[in-house]
Amino acid sequence: MKVKIESPRPCQRVLEVEVPAERVEEEFGSVFKSYKKKATIPGFRKGKVPPSVLQARFGPRIEGEVLSKLLPLAYKEATQREKLIPIDKPQLSDVEFKRGSPLRFKATVEVKPEVKLGDYLGLKATKRLRRITDKEIDEALDKLRWEKAILTPVDRGAREGDIIIIGLKEEGKAEEELEVELGQGKLLPQFENRLVGIVKGEERGIEVDHPDTHPDARYRGRRVRFQVKAMEVKEKRPPQLDEEFLEEVGNFHSLKELKEKIRADFKVEAEAEAQKELTEKILDRLIEAASLEVPESMIRTYLDYLVSQAKKRYKSVDENGIRAQYRPQAIRELTASLILEEIAKREGIETSPEEVEERVKQVAERYNMGEDEARDWLIKTDQMKGLVQRIKDERVFDFLIGKGEITTVGSE
């Protein structure tokens, strides 16, 4: 078999393949033999039909089978001979196929691009740790109090921060009971504003103009009148910072101990934020110094996934808009992925089974699963490969940071 290869673009290969006429004839013989065994034609015993009759009766079908067998086999052999690893399906063209002659065709395919790295050792970057202030601690403590707030029924008109239990009725539909917290911005302003001041037992008619972008197609662009009855109005009253509160939020022995725990949690968050910012800076330098072209098929696959996820969440999506909006993100993330993969390859960085098992254990704990269940779930949902890749990327960043000149600034 003859193979000629051209590279019109860095990540594209065009294979010109020629399969010898002898091999084409062998395949014809094999397919004819199969037809001869199973063909049932009046006037001939099974297995005794002459080739000329088979050709007359099944010629086009036999030729189709021969071609459908030879094309993928020849393409696979050609890529293996040229040591190519295609990343998408080939585009076949210029197919010349006739019994007694060589089979010729062209296969255009994209491959992973050659990644030319710049200097990646000794990178200089600054890691900035956010300062944790006493004000943040007090705000977090106050937020925790409001999360544990006691709901107390009141006889006054509803105001921001109150919880209202309402009976909501739309014409032609049964009444439904809803719990609404004023001031959260979860309702259309036109509806929520009309609930301010309502008292227990009061009924109000509220007309709402729904936008054309409303997620529920039944209301999109429509004016709808609702009948609302306030069944109860409740005020949120945060608890005192006493022993009962300390025990409820975590069995703390003192307010000082609780604040120390909040500060420690903030430190963990600050470290994660600083590490994320640092890795982005490192990526910026790697991308700036590297030279590569991201294959269009990889970009297409990335955007196809985003579109499919959007379609699962929304009834109507602007597919072209999503592709245009997220194309720069796709190129950056894929570029970064290819660079990190090349560094891992050069430096022999791999993930260990122990690291993967530890991460599976973390997933199991987070979602309250058994470890075997978590592992099966990751595999079934096609997330295991991504998990392993994230671990490898983290190891690459650890390597780059260890070999780099990193300055840490900021503290308490």
Counting Cα atoms < 13 Å in the Cβ hemisphere of 143 gives 8
- pLDDT of 412 > 60? The answer is no
| C-alpha closest to that of 230 among 206, 257, 249, 247 | 206
Span 4-26, average pLDDT: 92
Q: In sequence order, what E strands does 99-162 have?
A: 103-110, 124-128, 150-153
* pLDDT top residue among 174 and 349: 349
- pLDDT of 357 > 90? The answer is yes
- pLDDT of 155 > 90? The answer is yes
Question: With the CA atoms of 271, 274, 277 and 282 taken in that order, what torsion angle do they form, in degrees rounded to the nearest 10?
Answer: -90
- pLDDT of 135 > 90? The answer is yes
* Residue pLDDT, tens place only, 385-403: 999 999 999 999 999 999 9
* pLDDT top residue among 347 and 186: 347
Reported confidence tier of residue 175, pLDDT bands at 50, 70, 90: confident
Which pLDDT belongs to residue 42? 67
- pLDDT of 289 > 80? The answer is yes
- pLDDT of 210 > 90? The answer is no
Fold of 150-237: Chitinase A; domain 3 (3.10.50)
Bridge partners (DSSP) of residue 13 are 109
H runs (alpha helix) in 290-409: 296-313, 319-347, 353-366, 371-380, 384-403
- pLDDT of 157 > 60? The answer is yes
Which pLDDT belongs to residue 380? 92
Q: What is the CATH number of domain 255-409?
A: 1.10.3120.10
* Burial class of residue 286 in the structure, from the number of CB atoms within 10 Å of its CB (0-12 exposed, 13-18 middle, 19+ buried): buried
The rounded distance, in Å, linking the Cα atoms of 306 and 189 is 31
Q: Which residues contact 175 (CB under 8 A, 6 or more apart)?
A: 167, 168, 169
CA-to-CA separations, 272 to 128, 133, 266, 332, in angstroms, rounded: 11, 17, 10, 22
Which pLDDT belongs to residue 159? 93
Which element (helix H / strand E) includes 60? helix 51-81
The rounded distance, in Å, linking the Cα atoms of 95 and 15 is 12
Reported confidence tier of residue 64, pLDDT bands at 50, 70, 90: confident
* pLDDT top residue among 292 and 216: 292
| C-alpha closest to that of 36 among 25, 23, 47 | 47
- pLDDT of 47 > 70? The answer is no
- 339 touches 290 (CB < 8 A): yes
- pLDDT of 301 > 60? The answer is yes
Reported confidence tier of residue 267, pLDDT bands at 50, 70, 90: very high
Reported confidence tier of residue 43, pLDDT bands at 50, 70, 90: low
* Domain regions of the chain by residue span: 2-110, 150-237, 255-409
Which pLDDT belongs to residue 39? 66
Which pLDDT belongs to residue 59? 74
- Mean per-residue pLDDT of the chain: 90
* Residue pLDDT, tens place only, 92-108: 999 999 888 999 999 99
Q: Do domains 2-110 and 255-409 have the same CATH topology?
A: no
Which pLDDT belongs to residue 48? 65
Reported confidence tier of residue 45, pLDDT bands at 50, 70, 90: low
CATH superfamily label, 2-110: Trigger factor ribosome-binding domain (3.30.70.1050)
Which pLDDT belongs to residue 55? 74
Q: In sequence order, what E strands does 193-239 have?
A: 203-209, 223-237
Reported confidence tier of residue 313, pLDDT bands at 50, 70, 90: confident
Which pLDDT belongs to residue 11? 87
* pLDDT top residue among 205 and 55: 205
Reported confidence tier of residue 272, pLDDT bands at 50, 70, 90: very high
Which pLDDT belongs to residue 163? 94
DSSP 116: B
Amino acid identity at 122: G
Structure tokens at 169: 């009725």
The rounded distance, in Å, linking the Cα atoms of 91 and 241 is 70
